[in-house]
Amino acid sequence: MLQRLDVLATASGAAWSLYLPQGSPTLEVETRLRRELEPQQLEDAVTAISKSATGAVLFWGDRNKYLIQPPFPLGTRYFATGYDVQPLRALLSRDLTIAVILVRLGDYAIGVFHGEKLISSKVGTGNVHQRHRQGGSSAHRFERHRDKQIEYFFTRICTHAQEHLTPVARQLDYLVYGGTRFTVLELRKQCHFLQAFDVRTLDLLLNVRQPRQATLEAAIGDVWSSKVTEWREKDSG
């Protein structure tokens, strides 16, 4: 992304840049782009901006037309003529401290990163049986036993999360979860320690099939990734 911004910064021609934090009114965007885009394209752009949890940046010129959803929240609304990439470059150049917690029933991975460098981690498993598909009293006993397994599993994760996040709690910029949505929600509900970081938790759920050390190390790349939409002129030939 930084390389793309470097190229954009040197592009010639008339252009403008618009930075929109989360929840910004989209009327200005609709007004500016109504003559530039097809109705469906305009609707898609406005929808993406309105739903973005981190805001959006529009770089719009004769040859370069981009909508960028950054990985981290934008601070304030900002408009400039030309391709003013500096605010976005500054956001993406910060050495942020980020915690990543990946969890599926039976597996978990916890990591703390400074920038994209992993500085501490814990990966483990837990004994959680699959659901019992038969009925009867034995099934109810099995489910109660399974619930206890899940509770113990979450307690272990919470304990390890506390061990790794407490030393960096004050400087922690963001917390990101990955795995299955229901499992993550249940963990956050049970682990009161993690609830203290809710205001710093990104509205992002990483798609992780199996929490492992390699998965954890690769996940930070997804955390730092921006979503880019580019419009190109149709080839007249």
Position 135 pLDDT exceeds 60: no
Can you read off the two tokens belonging to residue 133? 């598909």
- Tell me if the domain spanning 2-93 has CATH number 3.40.50.1000: no
Q: Starting at the edge strand that comes first in sequence, how are the strands of the sheet with 97-104 ordered?
A: 117-125, 107-114, 97-104, 174-179, 201-206
Q: Report the pLDDT value the prediction gives residue 236, as an integer from 0 to 100.
A: 42
User: Which of 152, 204, 206, 153 lies closest to 178 in space, CA to CA?
Assistant: 206
pLDDT digits 0-9 by tens, 61-87? 988 999 999 999 999 999 999 999 999
142-195 pLDDT, tens digit each = 566 567 888 889 999 999 999 999 999 999 999 999 999 999 999 999 999 999
Q: What is the pTM of this model?
A: 0.88
235 pLDDT more than 80: no
| CATH code for the structural domain at 97-223 | 3.30.420.60
* pLDDT (tens digit per residue) in 121-132: 999 987 665 655
For the chain, the domains span 2-93, 97-223
Assess whether the region 2-93 and the region 97-223 belong to the same CATH fold. no
Query: SS3 letters for the chain?
Result: CHHHHHHHHCCCCCEEEEEECCCCCCHHHHHHHCCCCCHHHHHHHHHHHHHCCCCEEEEEECCCEEEEECCCCCCCCEEEECCCCHHHHHHHCCCCEEEEEEEECCEEEEEEEECCEEEEEEEEECCCCCCCCCCCHHHHHHHHHHHHHHHHHHHHHHHHHHHHHHHHCCCCCEEEEEECHHHHHHHHHHCHHHHCCHHHEEEEEECCCCCCHHHHHHHHHHHCCCEEEEECCCCCC
